[in-house]
Amino acid sequence: MDAESLRDTLLFISGELDVSMMNEPHPFPPVDKWDFTQHYPFRGSYPSNRRSVYLMTTRLNALPFFVTFDGADRNASTPKRDSSVTTIQSLYLLNDEFVHQQATKFAERLLREQSDDSARLYRAFELTLGRAPAENELAMADHYFQQLREQLISSSLPADQQERLVWESFARVLFRLNEFLYVD
C-alpha cells in the first residue's frame, strides 16, 4: 500500500478514521502571530484522524510516516512514486506511537465487538487481511495468547488491562504482516 492508504487503513480498522469531508481550513495562526522567516520557517502540524488526503501538506516539514513509506514528494509533481522495502519501515511499525495508538484502538474495538477469543481472532483477520484465519494460524495465535497471558499473570495489572495488552500485541503482529502491507 502507498503511505496514505496504509495510514487510512490503520485508522479505519482501529475505528478511528473520520470520513467526514474537510469543510474548514486548518487552524493556521492569525497573521499578527506570524514570525516566520527564512531561518525560522513555519513548522506547524495539525494532527487529524481524517483521511490522508485532507492532511496539511508542508514542504519543509514532511511527516515521518510519509517519508518512511514513500509518500509523495511535496516539493514536486509526483506522477510515479518510488516503492521501497526497508528495515526502517519495519522498525517504524514496531516502535511508532501512531501505530501503537491504532493497535490499542483496534484491540479495544475487538474486545468491545466480540465476546470470546475465537470470534475476536476471526474479526481481527477479517479486518486486517480480508479473510478467515487458517487452521495453523489459529493454533499459532492460541499459543501466542497463552504465552502472553502467562507472562502477564505475574504483573499487577487488572485482568481487563492484561487482556487489552494481549490483543494490542497481536494487532501489532498483524500490522507487520506482508499480507497486510501488500495488496495483491
Q: What is the pLDDT of residue 45?
A: 76
How far is residue 138's CA from residue 148's CA, in Å, rounded to a whole number? 15
Nearest to 184 by CA among 1, 24, 11, 35: 1
Q: Which parts of the chain register pLDDT below 50?
A: none
Handedness of CA 76, 79, 80, 86 (dihedral sign): positive
Q: Is 19 helix (H, G, I), strand (E, B) or coil?
A: coil
- The length of the chain in residues reads 184
105-152: per-residue pLDDT in tens? Answer: 999 999 999 999 999 999 999 999 999 999 999 999 999 999 999 999
> CA–CA distance from 118 to each of 125, 130, 137, 141, 152 (Å)?
11, 16, 12, 10, 20
> Would you state the pLDDT for residue 19?
93
CB atoms within 10 A of CB 41: 11
Look up residue 75 and give its DSSP letter. T
pLDDT at 99: 95
Contact 84, 93 (CB under 8 A): no
pLDDT confidence of residue 74: 74
Q: How much of the chain is in helix, strand and coil states, percent to nearest 5? A: 55, 0, 45
